[in-house]
Structure formats: structure tokens, C-alpha cells
Amino acid sequence: MPSMENGSSNVPRAEEIKLQANEAFKAHKYGQAIDLYTQAIELNGQNAVYWANRAFAHTKLEEYGSAIQDATKAIEVDPKYSKGYYRRGAAYLAMGKFKEALKDFQQVKKICPSDPDAAKKLKECEKAVMKLKFEEAIAVPESERHSVADSIDYHSIEVEPQYSGAKIEGDVVTLDFVKKMIDDFKNQKCLHKRYAFQIVLQTREMLRAQLSLVDINVPDGSHFTVCGDVHGQFYDLINIFELNGLPSEENPYLFNGDFVDRGSFSVEVILTLFAFKCMCPSAIYLARGNHESKSMNKIYGFEGEVRSKLSETFVELFAEVFCCLPLAHVINEKVFVVHGGLFSVDGVKLSDIRAIDRFCEPPEEGLMCELLWSDPQPFPGRGPSKRGVGLSFGADVTRKFLQDNNLDLVVRSHEVKDEGYEIEHDGKLITVFSAPNYCDQMGNKGAFIRLEAPDLKPNIVTFSAVVSSLCCMSCHFFSFGYMFGVKKDQEPFLYEEV
């Protein structure tokens, strides 16, 4: 324990470091800000502001579990510090835990009864909780539910004579159609619902026929491209195709989850990927990410975007199709590709993943949850997830999984990286993230990985964002714009200044 004299002298130094951390935060260097806030906390752990500010930085990196821990510590240090409750409530909101968030915003309102932003967030939470209760009350039991896909006959949908957009002749999706559709999307034109239904329904049938773990064979002399999160950044998706070629049998891709949410063009992204899948099933493989789920789509924008651009029926249909997406892929029996990461127990075999019944919303624990949510950590063993879901796993866990399954490499996505990728765990794990300048504010590069057979040595290509294209629905994690009617140019968290 430091002496009282030393402790007293630490206070001004801690404040200096906090100001440096604030500057890093304002520059969107959230990892650096977390490191600096940590230093300030080590010098003076009894300042609730430091804990709350670090919670806010964790939130910006989508580390909601860590944000909740830090905000809780801020409340313990100062039970009357309103921002501690505010930031914990914000993290709960981001995780879809509306009832927990409601309690925290009620406390904020109690401490700051005249704060308009606190009142606004409380109202939003109350609305969300009421909506949840209503949905629970009218929910149909699982055993009685019918597939919305079975009720749709796209052939019977009339195409108006004045429609001048891309058209599918008959039942075959052609390259010419996909190119025309992409050009229409570039010009902010919509695809007719008849063809949108056709694409989504045909994709559903193909995905349903696949196993939860898909084996991919890349012939010697051929290549294969793995892309990470795209998150509705349509123009950056098209830039990938311009840099690396359109998907085809000779130029196949795997998009490793999180196609939608956050970005303003998630509908365009998912229809483009699905259309290529319909055109040539072996040209493009699709894996489920943690954002291909109802709960995430409600919070982060996709559900509202679909409702706005297409219809309520499409909301249900996409939810069904997302439950058909495979959970992982293995390339040439050597490279394991998954959105999130590995497991809370040793001994998981590829056969265990193949046997997962994936046709459901992701559970909050177990193999399927961990595949979609887990993250690597720099130290050995396993630890709690910084996200509050899944877990963190070390290089020893990665090494053991590879050895048990006679594999060479894990490729995963799920985390924004400054350079678009990161190589960890003694070179045995690569994170690839393909949404540059994520949410129009992170300043990161995007990346994709080209694997050349037979050695499958990863060649990583990085790229920058092509435009500042309205990428974020409503400033990072709070795409409540579609859920609560917040406009895109509104600042939803003025209260959250560090």
C-alpha cells in the first residue's frame, strides 16, 4: 500500500493521465484511452470518473461486459455519480438487456431529475420493455410456429410495367442480373420485392441443405478469399470486389458473418451476397455471425432498415434464413474459419460442431454461442468475455484445438482492428475485419485474406474506406434510430461526454 503522502501526490498525476486519456478518446483511439484510464485508476482508484470514462471507452469497442464491470465500480466508489448508472445502462442497452438498463436509467432520473437526456433514455427503455412484454404476450409457442417462407409465392407478385430495375428472367439468377442490381444499389435504387423474395428464398433452400460445419475444397493452384465483418457498408463491399474480383467458381469467397447491422446499407449488402450465392453456390460461402440474430437486428438497425426498405414479412424471412447459416467452415482440412472463436472446454471436435442443431436463435451459452461470440486473449487459459457473452481464450486453447483436430490455423473475425487484421497466438490465429472506418468513426483499415492452395499460406490484403457513406445508423452502438424513431443526424448521447 502506498503511504498517504505518496497517495496524495498520485492524485494530480492521475488527473494528468486522465486528460491524456480523454484526448485519446476524442481521437477515437479507444484502446489507448483504456490503457491511460487504467494507469489513472492504478494511481487513484477512488475517482469514479476514471472508472466511468473507461467504461465508456470499453463501450465504444463493443466490450460491454467490461463496460458494465467498470460502471459498477464507479457506482461503488460514488453511489450518487449519475454517469456510472448512465454508462452501465447504456451497456445493458447495447446487450439488449432492457430491464436491467431501465433500472439504471431510473436511478439516473432520480439523481438528475431535470436532465433531458436522462429522461429521454428512460423513456426509450420504458418503451422497449413494454414492447418486449407485448411480444412475449402474443408470442406463438415454438411447436405451433409456421415458416413464413412457406407462405410466400414470389411467382404471383406482379412487377409493374414502370419498374426499370434489375429483373430475373425465370428462376435463374445470372451474372448480368447481379451486376445490374449492384449498379441500381449504387444509385440508391431499390430491387423489386418479387426478385428480393426470390433471392432470399432460393438462398434459404441452399443454406438449409448444408451442415453446421461446411468443408471447402480448394484445388492445387487455386485460391480462396476470406472476408470478415462487412456490417452494412455496401460501398466497401463493392470495393472488395473491385480489388479482388467478383465472386465466381474460379474466384470463391467466404464472408465470415456480421453482414448486417450498424451500416445504413445492410439490405443492399445481404441481397448482393445472397444473389451471388444464387448465381453460383460454390462462388460464395456464408457463415453466421453474432449479428445474424433477432436480438441484435432489433437493436443495431437491420430490422428497422428491412421494415423501411422492404416489408414486415422480410423481417421474419431474414430471421428464418439467418438460422440456416452454417456456423463454421474448414478449408482443405487445415484452416478453421469461424466468426467468433473457441470454447470453454477442451476436447471439442469438428464432429461436435457438425452435430450442432443450428436452426434456432443463438443461445446464451454452449458451443453455438461460443462460436459466434468468443474472442482471443493475449495470456494463457480462459477468462470472462469482455463482451459479457462467450469467453476469452488464450494461445494454449487455440493450440490444443488445432492439435485435437489436425488443423493448422484459426481464422476469425468479430473484432475491429486498426490494420484490418491481427495475427495472434504464435501465428496460429488471424482476425480479419472487412469494414474500414467502422461506423464512420474508427479510422481502421479493412482487410481480406487470400489463401493459395496447396500450402494455404495467408496473403493479407488491406484497404481503406472508399467513402464516408452514412455507414453508421446512429453513432456506433445505438442504432435505436429505427427502433425509437431517432434520426441519423441526431446525437443520441450528449450526456456521455468524457
Give the DSSP per-residue string, 425-472. TTTTEEEE---TTGGGTS-PPEEEEEEETTTTEEEEEEE--S---S--
Cα→Cα distances 17→13, 21, 30, 38, 55, Å: 6, 6, 14, 9, 16
Handedness of CA 135, 137, 143, 146 (dihedral sign): negative
Per-residue confidence (pLDDT) for residue 114, from 0 to 100: 85
Q: What is the pTM of this model?
A: 0.90
Q: What whole-number distance in Å separates Cα of residue 480 and Cα of residue 488?
A: 10
Per-residue confidence (pLDDT) for residue 7, from 0 to 100: 58
Q: What whole-number distance in Å separates Cα of residue 82 and Cα of residue 425?
A: 40
The residue extents of the domains of the chain are: 4-138, 148-473
> Which of 3.60.21.10, 3.20.20.140, 3.20.20.210, 3.50.50.60 is the CATH number of 148-473?
3.60.21.10
Q: At 375, phi and psi to the nearest 5?
A: -135, 150
Collapsing DSSP to helix, strand or coil, 254 comes out as: strand
DSSP conformation class of 444: P
| Residue appearing with cell numbers 480489388 | 243
Q: What whole-number distance in Å separates Cα of residue 27 and Cα of residue 54?
A: 15
Contact 244, 461 (CB under 8 A): yes
Set 231, 291, 414, 476: catalytic member = 291
Q: Catalytic: 28?
A: no
Handedness of CA 257, 386, 30, 89 (dihedral sign): positive
**CB atoms closer than 10 angstroms to residue 285:** 23
Q: What angle do CA 176, 253, 234 make, to 5 degrees?
A: 65
Per-residue confidence (pLDDT) for residue 383, from 0 to 100: 96
Contact 141, 134 (CB under 8 A): no
CATH H superfamily, domain 4-138:
Tetratricopeptide repeat domain (1.25.40.10)
Handedness of CA 23, 28, 29, 31 (dihedral sign): positive
Per-residue confidence (pLDDT) for residue 8, from 0 to 100: 66
* Paired strand residues for 383: 392
Q: What whole-number distance in Å separates Cα of residue 284 and Cα of residue 248?
A: 8
- Angle, in degrees to the nearest 10, between helices 302-309 and 266-279: 80
**CB atoms closer than 10 angstroms to residue 479:** 33
Q: What whole-number distance in Å separates Cα of residue 410 and Cα of residue 427?
A: 9
Closest CA to 257 of 201, 337, 187: 337
Per-residue confidence (pLDDT) for residue 143, from 0 to 100: 63
Contact 54, 38 (CB under 8 A): yes
pLDDT digits (tens, 9 = 90+) for 33-84: 999 999 999 999 999 999 999 999 999 999 999 999 999 999 999 999 999 9
Could you say which residues of the chain have pLDDT below 70?
A: 1-8, 140, 142-144, 468-498
Beta pairing, strands 391-393 & 382-384: antiparallel
Closest CA to 121 of 146, 98, 142: 98
pLDDT digits (tens, 9 = 90+) for 328-362: 999 999 999 999 999 999 999 999 999 999 999 99
DSSP conformation class of 409: E
Beta pairing, strands 284-286 & 253-255: parallel
